Structure 1
Amino acid sequence: MRSQSDSLFQNAGRLAAVVVMATVTCATSVHADEKEAKSLLKAMSDYMAAQETISFEYDTNLEVVTKQQQKLALASSGAVKINRPDKLHVTRQGGFANVEIVFDGKTLSFLGKDANLYAQAEVPGTTDNLIDTLRDKFNRPLPAGDMLISHPYDALMSEVVDVKDLGSGVIRGEECDHLAFRTKEGVDWQIWIAQGQNPYPCRYVVTSTKVKGFPQYTIDVRSWKAGADAAAGDFNFKAPDGAKKRDLKDLPDADELPEIFSMK
């Protein structure tokens, strides 16, 4: 007859085997999910990079958190038209500003429609260079800018430390692959990519995990068109009658916080 201690050791051994098997299965599943998520993001990136002409409309939601931990949001909408390698036209209207950006490959023109003010700057080069310049020099990041550069995958994955494939989601009736990413800089982001032959980004959400309240920036893409289907773009800027020229820093931005959104 086996002793009680023999039985305990046997049970412990079986339990250990189950734990090891579960751990291996979980690790394999996580690895497979990560590989699939990267593959889906790379497919989206390759599709985006291959499009010489793109047009779409969008809605954004920028959250801010007050000192009283009240979460508020700024909503805006607009449209983007891009002809690679060096043409861009963007409109953006929020509750407190109505702006337009036109780039013809040499000159950046920025118009504040409500104030009837405009500014211009020489920024020769590609739309990639313009997107970087708007973000780094003028502190005016372009909506969905990470998706519109030549190689989105490299830019999006540069700081990523964790990847998840969350299965499917539906955005405005479009079935999408839902992916989630974490970076080493305290930023989480999610993306919903349209399934099928045109894997464009339907929704992109960025969460600031180092800011109390975890505020998010969300952009929803709609009316997506590419190639011959893309809406024609006008990349020649003409200042409206009576518009006054100003320095770019003096022009309003659609996401500029108005007094009613006081952080006090």
Structure 2
Amino acid sequence: MNIDLGKTPQRIVCLTEETTETLYCIGEQDRIVGISGYTVRPPQARKEKPKVSAFLNAKIDKILDLKPDLVLGFSNLQADIMTQLVRAGIPVHVFNQRTVAGIFDMIRMLGAMIGESAKTDSLMVELKEGLDRIKHSAAQLPRRPRVYFEEWNDPLISGIGWVSELIHIAGGDDCFPELASCSFAAERTIHDPEEVVRRAPDIIIGSWCGKRFRPEKLEERPGWDAIPAVQQSHVYEIKSANILQPGPAALTDGVTQIHQLIQKWSQDSA
């Protein structure tokens, strides 16, 4: 008896940016039929692909009209969207990567799902080599700065797991490592802003998820003028699309920007 093993997905909707970017990285963008409206990487995706969702909501009818054979989402925050699609008979998969290893696992699994493991294996080798180069460069630094990463300003929310790991790879030490393993933003809330002052970061990086970072507002907080990063003008922004997207962007542009800021701090501190 001949068994039909079926086809790999050919009409994929990506409800977050990291799967879109991964598919473009491996040259499989023609499979994508719909993307998130928040997608900015790669730039051509916004020009080429229909936008069918935000992050917490989606145009279900529009997705169904695209007749996808796979919809990819991220985390429990998109569970309601995925439930509606499952009830409509659409195959879905929700990734939940929160660490650097998790990002590699996502890329590996996506490659297997579409029958292109060789391509994603090559991408992972390239990404790992890039991280190794940064790690080697960071090892040459005379001292590791303390880095405070702020994901949100009201309330204060510190960096998620992969951000904390990338800070370490880039040559710094996360000021709030005990919060980095917490998956949910509410669990990474810093309830006492003076705790940031006490931990005395040498560098502050703001990436207010989805809105422009305002360093002048941060520097006006009571007591924050005593922080070394504020005193020595080492307060910076990294765009959310480059660091808060748990995919290729964070492992390339995101970590590179962190490393460059640490190198600048090191030169200024010499």
TM-score (norm 2): 0.27
Q: Which structure is richer in relative contact order (CA contacts within 8 A, separation 6 or more)?
A: 1
TM-score (norm 1): 0.27
**Richer in strand (by share):** 1
Q: Which has the larger radius of gyration?
A: 1
**Richer in helix (by share):** 2
